[in-house]
Amino acid sequence: MKTSNKINFSRRSFLQTSTLASGGMLIGFNLFTACKEDVKPPVDLSLLDYNDFNAFIKISDEGKVTIFSPNPEIGQGVKTSMPMLIAEELDVDWNDVHVAQGVLDTKNYSRQVAGGSQSLRHGWEPLRQTGATTRQMLVNAAAAKWGVLPSECKTKNGVITNSNGDKLGYGEVVKEAALLEVPEDVTLKDVKDFTIIGKGKSNVDIDEIVTGKPLFGLDYKTEGMLYASVLRPPAFGQKLTSFDDTSAKGVNGVTDVIKFGDKVAVLATSTWSAMKGKKALKAEWNQDSKAESTAFHDEKLLGILNGNEFDTRRKDGDVKKAFSEADTVLERTYESPFLPHNCMEPMNFFANVTSNKIELVGPIQTPAGTAGRVAKMLGRDVSEVSLEMTRMGGGFGRRLYGDFAMEAAEVSHLAKKPVKVVFSREDDMAAGIYRPAIKYRIAASIKDGKLTGYHLKEAAINSNMYGLIPNFFPAGAIENYQVDTGNYKSNITTGAWRAPYTNFLASAEQSFFDELAEQMNVDRIKLHRDLLQKVKGTTDEQIQYSPERLEGVMDLALEKSNWGKTTEGVYQGFAVYYCHNTHVAEVADIEMENGYPVVKKVTVAVDCGIVVNPLGANNQVVGGVIDGIGHTMYGELTFNEGIPQSNNFNSYQLIRMHQTPQVDVHFVENNLAPTGLGEPTLPPIGGAVANAIYAATGQRLLKQPYMKHYEPKKIIG
Amino acid sequence: MPTYNLKINGKLQSVEADSDTPLLWVLRDHVDLVGTKFGCGIAQCGACTVHVNGNATKSCSTSVANLQGMEITTIEGLSENGDHPVQEAWKEIDVPQCGYCQAGQIMTASAFLDNNPNPTKSDIRTAMQGNICRCASYNSIEKAIEVAANKLS
C-alpha cells in the first residue's frame, strides 16, 4: 500500500504560524481528527506566546526544533513516537529535536487522552501532515529568497538546498516562513523514504530518567505546598460517623486536619508527617451498604451464569437449535478475580484552588475530563482551571479516573492552601478502581465433527464488555453464535484495567478453543485456520479483525517458536487474538520445575502495521506479555466484609525478574497505517500459558490466578 | 526536632527531622533529591533503593537516625554526568517505559555489579528480585546489566 498521498485542506482548519519575540517560528495547528475544526486564530498573532498558543512545533533561529507532544505519557512511549511522525515529514535530524509535554489545551487539541492504545492510530495522518506542511512553508520561504521554484528545492536534516548549490538551514528562513500563506496541499513521504519512522529511537526522557530528574507527579512541588494524606473508609460501603484528630494534630509538621465527605485529610509540611498524622487519626465508621466478600461475588456471578437474564450483544443464527441438534456440547466456566492496578507511582495530584484560579498538576490519563469535573464540583467555570500533565509512573487505566485530582482540589479549596494529595501504597491498593471480577461460561456444539454453535455468557461485577468486543474473533466464523452479558452492581469501585474485558476474555476463549479442538479431534491450529477461512470476504461491518492478518501472525509465531518441534521437557501453548486494532499470536514455552509450571520463553508475532518506533514497540510488546503472565499466574485481590485482603507488596504478588521468561518479538512487515501496542499483547498470554500447562500436566486451569492451583508455594519474591 | 548531619552524594547536609523519618522522605522532602522514588514504604518494591556505604539499601525503611557518618549515594550522585556504566547501559538498551522504578533498579544493579562484576544470568535474576517493575521491563533490565558488566570489565 502506498501511503504517499495528496490531501486538500480547507484553509480554516489549518496551520497558524507566528514569529516569536525570542526568535524563531511557532506553528500550531488544528486539523483533522487531532484538532477541532472550529478553532480561530487569535486576532493578533503578535500577542501569541508559547504558553497560550500551545503549538506543536517551535523552530528557533538556530534551527533547533521543539515538538510538543499533546498526549499523556504513561510509559506507552507516545511522547517519543508521536513527535517522530512530525519530525519525519518536517525532515529534520532527530538529534536536533527536543520533545516537551504539551499542557491541557482543549482549544487546540482534541483527544488528549491516553487510553485504548489509540494515540498513534489517531495521530498517524494529522501529525505527518503538520510536519509536511511546515516543511513546505520553510521551502517556500527559501525558494522566494533564492528566486527559484519550490519544486527545485530539496530538504534533508533541516537544511534546504537547490540545484544551484545554495543552502539554507531551517533556522535561517523561519522568520520569512512564518509570514507566508499556508500551503493548501502537501505531499507526504513514501514509506521507503522514511528516515525516522521505523528506526528505533530511545525514550525522549531517558537522560532525565536515569539521572533521577523530577519528572513525575510525585516529584512536583511549589513554594508553600502542603502534603496531604487522606483517611478513607477501610471497607467498601462504609461511611464516616466521627473522628478524633487530637493525636494527629500533635504530630510534628501537621498543619491542618480537614474532613471532606467520608474522608479526612491530614495536611503537613512533609509527606512523612502527613502519613504519620493520618495513622494517628481515630475514626468510627458505619456500614451503609452491604459489606461484600469474595465468596458472595462468586455466588452472584455464578447465579447470573446459571440464570436467564442477559443482554444479548451479538446473535447469529440459532444457538439454541444448534445445541439441541448437537452430537456433543462442550461447556466450560472460566473465572477471574479483581485486580488492582498497582502503578509503581502511587496516585497523587497537586491542586491550588484560589478565588480566581484552579491550578492542577499531576499524572492523569484524562486531563480534559478531570478539569471539567473539578470545575463542576467546585461550582467554578472550567476556564479558570489550568492542568499541567506530568510524566506518569504507570497508568494501566487507573489514571483515567481523576478521583485523586478531585480529592486534591477539594482539600485545597477547603484548606485555602496549595496541596498535594499523596496515596500510600496501602491507600492505592485499598482505594482502587479495580479490574472487576468476571466469569465466562462458554459452550460449543459439535455435529458430525463440525463446530456448529458457540455461546458465550459474561457475568461481571458492575459492567460488561463494551463497544465491538462481542464482534471480535470468533464472531463471524461460526454460523450459530451468541454473546450474552449480565452484571451484578457492587459497591466496590471498578474500571478500566490494561485491555479492559479482553484481558481475561481472550484467555478464556483461547483456552476453550484448545480444549474444543481436542474434543473435535482436530489440530488446534487447523481449527483456527478453518474458522478464519469462513470470515474471509465478510460483508459484516461489525467484524473489525482481519482473518488474513490473524493468519499472518499465526504463521509468524508458529515458525519463530518452532511450534511442535521443541525438545523434551518443553511444553508449548498457543493463542491468537485481535483487540485494540492490533493482531497478535503468542506461543508460550513452559517447563515443569519441582512440580510447578515455569514460563521459560514466549514467542510473539504482532501485526500493528508500520512499526513507528521499533525500540519502543519492542518494549511495549515484551512488557504486555510479562505483565500478563504476572497477573494470570499470581494476581488476585479478594475481599472480606468489604475490606481488600491485600494492600501492599508483601501480600500482593507482582511478577519479579526471576519469574520472567525471555520474550522473543517478531513484527509482521507491511506498510499499513500503524495501530497501538500498549494493550494488545497482554490478553492472549493467559490462554497461551494455560494451554502450555495443559500440554505439560494434562490439567485444564479454568480459574486465575493459575499459581493458586499449586499452593502452598511461597510466591512473594 | 533533632538535627542530623548526613553525607549525601559527597556533600554534608544538615537536616531537622523526627528520628523515625525514613531516609526516603528526608531525601525527597527535606533536601529536594526526588530521584529516589516512593513505591511501597515497606522495603518490598525497591523503588527507593540508594547506596549506604556502597550497599544497596531500601531508603523507605531506613530511619534517618541510623545514618549519621555514613556515605549515602542517590541516583543523582551515582555519577557526575549521568555516565555511570549502568546508566550508559540503560540508555543503550532503552530500558525505561514509564521510568518510575528505574532509579531503584539502577541503584540495585550498580551496587550488585560492584560486588559481582562478572555475574551469570542467574546471579542477575536473583540479585534483582527485590525491584518491581509493573511495566515489566525485566528483559531489558537483565540485558542492560549484562551490557554494564561488559563495560565494567
Domains, chain A, ranges and CATH?
Answer: 6-210 (3.30.365.10), 217-288+347-422 (3.30.365.10), 310-338+435-710 (3.30.365.10)
Question: For residues A29 and A18, what is the distance between their CA atoms, to the nearest angstrom?
Answer: 12
A114-163 tens-digit pLDDT: 555 667 787 788 788 888 988 998 999 999 999 999 999 999 999 999 99
The answer, yes or no, to whether residue A111 has pLDDT greater than 50, is no
Q: Are residues B57 and B100 in the same domain?
A: no
What pLDDT shows up at residue A16?
Answer: 58
Question: For residues A115 and A363, what is the distance between their CA atoms, to the nearest angstrom?
Answer: 14
Give the full edge-to-edge strand order of the sheet including A385-389.
Answer: A254-260, A263-268, A226-231, A419-422, A348-353, A358-362, A385-389
- Residue B112 sits in which domain range? 85-152
Q: To which residue does cell 483456527 refer?
A: A528
Give phi and psi for A72, each to the nearest 5. Answer: -65, 140
Q: Are residues B107 and B146 in the same domain?
A: yes
What pLDDT shows up at residue A327?
Answer: 98
Mean pLDDT of A658-665: 98
Q: Are residues B55 and B119 in the same domain?
A: no
Tell which B residues from 41 to 100 touch A, by Cβ distance under 8 Å: 41-42, 44-45, 47, 74-76, 78, 82, 87, 90-91, 94, 96-100
What pLDDT shows up at residue B60?
Answer: 98
Mean pLDDT of A636-650: 98
A18-52 tens-digit pLDDT: 566 556 666 665 432 233 333 333 323 333 332 23
Strands A97-101 and A65-69: parallel
What pLDDT shows up at residue A398?
Answer: 95
What residues have CB less than 8 Å from A168, skipping those under 6 apart? A142, A145, A159, A160
Question: For residues A100 and A70, what is the distance between their CA atoms, to the nearest angstrom?
Answer: 9
Domain at B32, CATH number: 3.10.20.30
The CA distances from residue A219 to A103, A211, A212, in Å, are: 17, 14, 10
What pLDDT shows up at residue A169?
Answer: 92
Mean pLDDT of A47-64: 56
Contacts of A613 in chain B (CB under 8 A): none
What pLDDT shows up at residue A281?
Answer: 98
What pLDDT shows up at residue A367?
Answer: 83
The CA distances from residue A470 to A173, A578, B45, in Å, are: 54, 12, 38
Q: Are residues B148 and B105 in the same domain?
A: yes
Question: For residues A659 and B126, what is the distance between their CA atoms, to the nearest angstrom?
Answer: 10
Mean pLDDT of B101-127: 98
Q: Are residues B70 and B13 in the same domain?
A: yes
Pick the residue of A267, A344, A660 with the most B CBs within 10 A to test the interface with B by mutation: A344
A13, A30 contact by CB (below 8 A): yes
Range scoring the smallest mean pLDDT among A82-86, A207-211, A231-235: A82-86
The answer, yes or no, to whether residue A663 has pLDDT greater than 70, is yes
Percent of chain A residues past pLDDT 90, beyond the cut: 76
Last residue of a domain, one of B42, B77, B112: B77
Decide: helix, strand or coil at residue A382. Answer: helix
B68, B124 contact by CB (below 8 A): no
Q: Are residues B61 and B90 in the same domain?
A: no
What does pTM read for this prediction?
Answer: 0.92
Last residue of a domain, one of B77, B93, B118: B77
A317, A481 contact by CB (below 8 A): yes
Q: What is the ipTM of this complex?
A: 0.98
Question: For residues A422 and A390, what is the distance between their CA atoms, to the nearest angstrom?
Answer: 15
Give phi and psi for B119, each to the nearest 5. Answer: -75, 155
Pick the residue of B32, B83, B135, B141 with the most A CBs within 10 A to test the interface with A by mutation: B135
Question: For residues B21 and B67, what is the distance between their CA atoms, to the nearest angstrom?
Answer: 11
Q: How confident is the model at residue A621 (pLDDT cuts 50, 70, 90)?
A: very high
Q: Are residues B69 and B134 in the same domain?
A: no
Q: How confident is the model at residue A6 (pLDDT cuts 50, 70, 90)?
A: very low
What pLDDT shows up at residue A45?
Answer: 33
**Structural domains in chain B (count):** 2
A235-265 tens-digit pLDDT: 999 999 999 999 999 999 999 999 999 999 9
Q: Are residues B47 and B71 in the same domain?
A: yes
Domain at B117, CATH number: 1.10.150.120
* Cell representation of residue A390: 506530568
Mean pLDDT of A531-535: 98
What pLDDT shows up at residue A23?
Answer: 61
Last residue of a domain, one of B46, B77, B108: B77
What pLDDT shows up at residue A181?
Answer: 79
Question: For residues B60 and B131, what is the distance between their CA atoms, to the nearest angstrom?
Answer: 13
Strand partners, A603: A587, A664
- Assign 3-state DSSP to chain A and report helix, strand, coil percentages, each to 5: 35, 25, 40
The CA distances from residue B48 to A363, A564, B8, B37, B131, in Å, are: 19, 44, 15, 5, 9
A298-347 tens-digit pLDDT: 999 999 999 999 999 999 999 999 999 999 999 999 999 999 999 999 99
Q: Are residues B92 and B54 in the same domain?
A: no
Q: Are residues B132 and B106 in the same domain?
A: yes
Mean pLDDT of A641-663: 97
What pLDDT shows up at residue A110?
Answer: 45
A593, A464 contact by CB (below 8 A): no
Mean pLDDT of B86-102: 97
**What is the rounded average pLDDT for all residues in chain A?**
89
B27, B15 contact by CB (below 8 A): no
What pLDDT shows up at residue A3?
Answer: 30
Mean pLDDT of B70-74: 97
Answer yes or no: do B129 and A658 touch at CB < 8 A: yes
Q: How confident is the model at residue A56 (pLDDT cuts 50, 70, 90)?
A: low
What pLDDT shows up at residue A184?
Answer: 72
Q: Are residues B66 and B91 in the same domain?
A: no
Choice between A214 and A78, residue whose per-residue pLDDT is larger: A214
Q: How confident is the model at residue A71 (pLDDT cuts 50, 70, 90)?
A: low
Tell which A residues from 259 to 288 touch B, by Cβ distance under 8 Å: 270-273, 275-276
A363, A393 contact by CB (below 8 A): yes
Q: Are residues B98 and B60 in the same domain?
A: no
Tell which B residues from 17 to 36 touch A, by Cβ distance under 8 Å: 17-18, 21-22, 25, 28-30, 32-36
What pLDDT shows up at residue B92?
Answer: 96
Answer yes or no: do B135 and A75 touch at CB < 8 A: yes
Of A75, A344, A395, the CB nearest to B132: A344
